[in-house]
């Protein structure tokens, strides 16, 4: 039997920005429940819910202080149970975000751990003596500065790969691992659909050897987790792995190895930054390289013995049309092109909230408007090193995480219908035109392209299981491929650029299934308009 998540399309909800139900300016669980009919109309099968657990909110919930409680700003456990049940009624499963590389420094384990060297929880975290009065080594945090923080109380440093309020858990401790598995079972017993696993590639770390990701114990721990929690259950698990190669992705997702369903890989993320540097050092995207990476992940994974995910956006990366498309005169065309290219590929597609209506990046003029800890820390660190405010803001406006975190645009009412209070983060001023209400009222909107793509996947096994075959020699700007299953052959053609392009194919056109311009009637000597994309049955 095919696992449900192979036919599925998953929708990511960033709860803080989705829908406020009580006027405090912060999205909440009741707000999500109130929008389930909208998501059912789109046709999705599961929601990946970014964290709603109890948290001080230093990193918007990715700093958890209690895994078995809901943060009061998001509601109560009753609200959560209601969301799970109401979603189930609409055949939508709730996939929880599992953040177990680190906790908040306000988690009771860490509060205990830092009290004394012989505290029973000491070994739940990673503590080291100073070396010659300094940090134990050169490991750095993803949010700027050293990954080690000195704690006066006991005279040792603790490890934090993210903010210093996010101490890393010590997975070498079997008691800690068992506590995590118990917690996962608590959620599984509530009837959730699975887990998205935050930075899971870090849990096998060996900080003394400077090993961060893909450490020697990573896969053994995942097998152990599988065995103690989701093994034999109908759940989807997806690991966040910034450093996976296709071979590594197969290790995680080969069913015979009993680890995860699939991973998120991020190889295309580095294509618009300078080689070997951090994401803030900008470089223009080369479409040929983007195409190469997309094709690599379609052809170097053996989908008979592994699986993979497909996505353009999430809460950590900018809006794709602003980044690699055109969010002005070709906003609608480029959004539909990205949708068609991705949703016709092999793997499980993910849609990030707002992507389905073509929401765009939201530039700021001043650092005071920024909420994201990653951008704020980077800005202050580099200002001290002599970078100019303008260049730092340019990096933030291009790559900063707040771009994708502005409130969901539901209507042209004040604050985009997101809240009746003051939104926690500015609403993108373009909500007047770009919003769900407008999208639903326009049969030609981006929304209906997504709806149709989801339907095509649900109704046609070729989209789920067909082989991917690249059409070669189409140039850097055109990505064209077939999906093939038995005697069936589907063609997908996309102009990734805003130039007009020429393409001529020998296939006989039988039926255009979806397109973002008036459908072609012939595949010979085609002129592709800016960002034109379509899929068709061919012979």
Select the residue interacting with Ca ion from 8, 16, 20, 526 (CB under 5 A): 20
Tokens standing for residue 280: 């803030």
Q: By CB under 5 A, is residue 356 in contact with Ca ion?
A: no
Is residue 337 at the binding interface for Ca ion, with CB under 5 A as the rule? Answer: no
- Among ligand TEU, Ca ion, none, the one that 22 touches (CB under a kind-dependent 5 to 8 A) is Ca ion
Distance CA 56, CA 66 (A): 10
Stretch that binds Ca ion, among 23-31, 238-246, 446-454, 464-472 (CB under 5 A): 23-31
Residue 334: which residues within 8 A CB-CB, separation 6 or more?
Answer: 321, 325, 326, 327, 498, 530, 531
Which residues have C-beta within 8 Å of that of residue 333, sequence separation ≥ 6? 326, 516, 517, 529, 530, 531, 532
Q: Does 71 bind Ca ion (CB under 5 A)?
A: no
Asked whether position 316 contacts ligand TEU by CB under 6 A, the answer is yes
Region 222-241 residues binding ligand TEU, contact defined as CB under 6 A: 240
Is 351 exposed, middle or buried (CB count within 10 Å of its CB: 0-12, 13-18, 19+)?
buried
- SS3 label, residue 169: strand
Minimum CB–partner distance for residue 249 and Ca ion (Å):
37
Candidate list 20, 71, 198, 402; residue touching ligand TEU; CB under 6 A = 198
For residue 24, state whether it binds Ca ion (rule: CB under 5 A): yes
Q: Does 162 bind ligand TEU (CB under 6 A)?
A: yes
State the Cα–Cα distance between residues 179 and 367, nearest whole angstrom. Answer: 40
Cα 361 to Cα 215, 358, 379: the distances in Å are 35, 10, 19
Rounded-to-integer distance, Cα 37 and Cα 499, Å: 39
Asked if 425 is part of the footprint of Ca ion (rule: CB under 5 A), the reply reads no
Q: Is 99 in the site for ligand TEU (CB under 6 A)?
A: yes
312 binds ligand TEU (CB under 6 A): no
Token digits for 2? 């095919």
Q: How far is the CB of 66 from Ca ion (least distance, A)?
A: 19
One residue of 8, 70, 184, 199 binding ligand TEU per CB under 6 A: 199
404 counts as binding ligand TEU under rule CB under 6 A: no
Q: Considering beta carbons, is residue 58 or 491 the nearer one to ligand TEU?
A: 58
CB 32 → ligand TEU: shortest distance, Å? 18
Burial class (CB in 10 A: 0-12, 13-18, 19+), 155: exposed
Q: Using CB under 6 A, list all residues that contact ligand TEU.
A: 59, 62, 99, 142, 162, 198-199, 240, 242, 279, 315-316, 374, 401
């Amino acid at each position: 039997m095919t696992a449900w998540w192979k036919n599925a399309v998953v929708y990511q909800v960033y709860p803080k920005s989705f829908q406020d139900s009580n006027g405090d300016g912060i999205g909440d669980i009741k707000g999500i429940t109130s929008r389930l009919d909208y998501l059912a109309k789109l046709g999705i099968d599961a929601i990946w819910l970014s964290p709603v657990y109890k948290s001080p909110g230093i990193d918007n919930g990715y700093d958890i202080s209690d895994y078995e409680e809901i943060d009061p700003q998001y509601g109560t456990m009753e609200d959560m149970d209601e969301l799970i049940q109401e979603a189930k009624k609409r055949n939508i499963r709730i996939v929880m975000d599992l953040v177990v590389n680190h906790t908040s420094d306000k988690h009771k384990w860490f509060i205990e751990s830092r009290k004394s060297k012989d505290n029973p929880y000491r070994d739940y975290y990673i503590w080291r003596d100073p070396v010659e009065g300094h940090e134990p080594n050169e490991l750095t945090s993803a949010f700027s500065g050293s990954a080690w923080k000195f704690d006066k109380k006991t005279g040792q440093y603790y490890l934090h790969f993210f903010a210093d309020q996010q101490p890393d858990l010590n997975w070498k401790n079997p008691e800690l691992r068992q506590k995590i598995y118990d917690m996962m079972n608590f959620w599984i017993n509530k009837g959730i659909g699975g887990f998205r696993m935050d930075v899971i590639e870090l849990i096998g770390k060996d900080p003394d050897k400077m090993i961060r990701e893909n450490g020697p114990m990573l896969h053994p721990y995942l097998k152990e987790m599988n065995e103690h929690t989701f093994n034999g259950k109908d759940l989807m698990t997806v690991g966040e792995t910034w450093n996976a190669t296709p071979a590594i992705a197969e290790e995680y997702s080969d069913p015979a190895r009993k680890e995860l369903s699939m991973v998120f890989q991020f190889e295309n993320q580095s294509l618009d930054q300078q080689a070997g540097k951090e994401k803030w050092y900008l470089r223009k995207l080369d479409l040929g390289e983007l195409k190469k990476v997309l094709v690599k992940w379609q052809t170097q994974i053996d989908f008979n013995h592994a699986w993979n995910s497909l996505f353009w956006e999430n809460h950590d990366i900018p809006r794709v049309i602003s980044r690699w498309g055109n969010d002005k005169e070709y906003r609608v065309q480029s959004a539909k092109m990205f949708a068609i290219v991705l949703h016709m590929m092999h793997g499980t597609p993910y849609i990030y909230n707002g992507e389905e209506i073509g929401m765009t990046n939201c530039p700021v003029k001043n650092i005071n408007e920024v909420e994201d800890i990653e951008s704020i820390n980077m800005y202050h660190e580099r200002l001290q090193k002599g970078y100019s405010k303008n260049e730092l803001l340019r990096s933030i406006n291009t790559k900063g995480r707040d771009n994708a975190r502005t409130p969901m645009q539901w209507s042209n009412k004040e604050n985009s219908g997101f809240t009746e209070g003051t939104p926690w983060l500015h609403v993108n001023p373009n909500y007047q035109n770009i919003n769900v209400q407008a999208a639903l009222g326009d049969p030609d909107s981006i929304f209906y392209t997504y709806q149709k793509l989801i339907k095509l996947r649900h109704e046609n096994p070729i989209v789920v299981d067909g082989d991917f075959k690249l059409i070669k020699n189409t140039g850097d700007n055109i990505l064209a491929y077939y999906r093939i299953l038995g005697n069936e052959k589907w063609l997908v053609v996309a102009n990734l650029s805003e130039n007009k392009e020429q393409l001529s194919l020998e296939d006989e056109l039988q039926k255009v299934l979806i397109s973002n311009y008036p459908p072609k009637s012939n595949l010979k000597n085609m002129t592709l308009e800016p960002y034109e994309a379509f899929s068709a049955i061919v012979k």
